[in-house]
Amino acid sequence: MSKLIQEFKDFAVKGNAVDMAVGVIIGGAFGKIVSSIVDDIIMPPIGWLIGGVKFTDLKFTLPQVDIAGVTSPDPATINYGNFLQTTFDFLIIAFCVFLMVKGINKLSKKKAEEPAAPAPDPEPTNEEKLLTEIRDLLKKQ
């Protein structure tokens, strides 16, 4: 049981799990902002341009059917206006995520292209030291 708790602690404390949790929380908040932009800023002018239509009111009403002499009080509807609005939400969020990933990739590419500090000369091996001594002795003769 102790090993399981330790493994969970290692997983939870790792950067990946924490980064993922932060991403999910920020993504949820970002989704609400985009939904508000679409619902409150983008769609009203589009509806006004096409004749004062409110997209959430766009729907197709299915015909009512009497079953055993009982008519349902509310007709069934296909709310394609909500679908259009949700599609706009998705497209804007997908585009923003695309731009964010593109920016991150560009930054990581620049970081990878930066020249690394020159590595110090490696310590010569015993063979190299011996050969250097032999060379030096031969030069003296």
Does residue 111 register a pLDDT over 80? Answer: no
Q: 13-36 pLDDT, tens per residue?
A: 766 777 777 788 888 888 888 888
Q: What are the extents of the domains in the chain?
A: 2-64+74-110
Does residue 1 register a pLDDT over 70? Answer: yes
pLDDT given for residue 72 in this prediction: 67
User: How high is the mean pLDDT of the chain?
Assistant: 80
CA-nearest of 57, 54, 30 to 40 is: 54
CATH superfamily label, 2-64+74-110: Large-conductance mechanosensitive channel, MscL; domain 1 (1.10.1200.120)
Gap between the Cα atoms of 78 and 84, Å rounded: 12
Q: What is the pTM of this model?
A: 0.53
Q: Are strands 77-78 and 60-61 parallel, antiparallel or unpaired?
A: antiparallel
Q: How confident is the model at residue 84 (pLDDT cuts 50, 70, 90)?
A: confident
Q: Which residue has the higher pLDDT, 105 or 70?
A: 105
Quote the strand ranges of 10-136, DSSP E: 60-61, 66-67, 70-71, 77-78
Exposure of 92 by Cβ count < 10 A (0-12 exposed, 13-18 middle, 19+ buried)?
Answer: middle
Does residue 69 register a pLDDT over 70? Answer: no
Q: How confident is the model at residue 7 (pLDDT cuts 50, 70, 90)?
A: confident
Does residue 44 register a pLDDT over 80? Answer: yes
Q: Which residue has the higher pLDDT, 10 or 137?
A: 137
Residues 6+ apart with CB under 8 A from 75: 61, 62, 63, 64
Gap between the Cα atoms of 79 and 60, Å rounded: 6
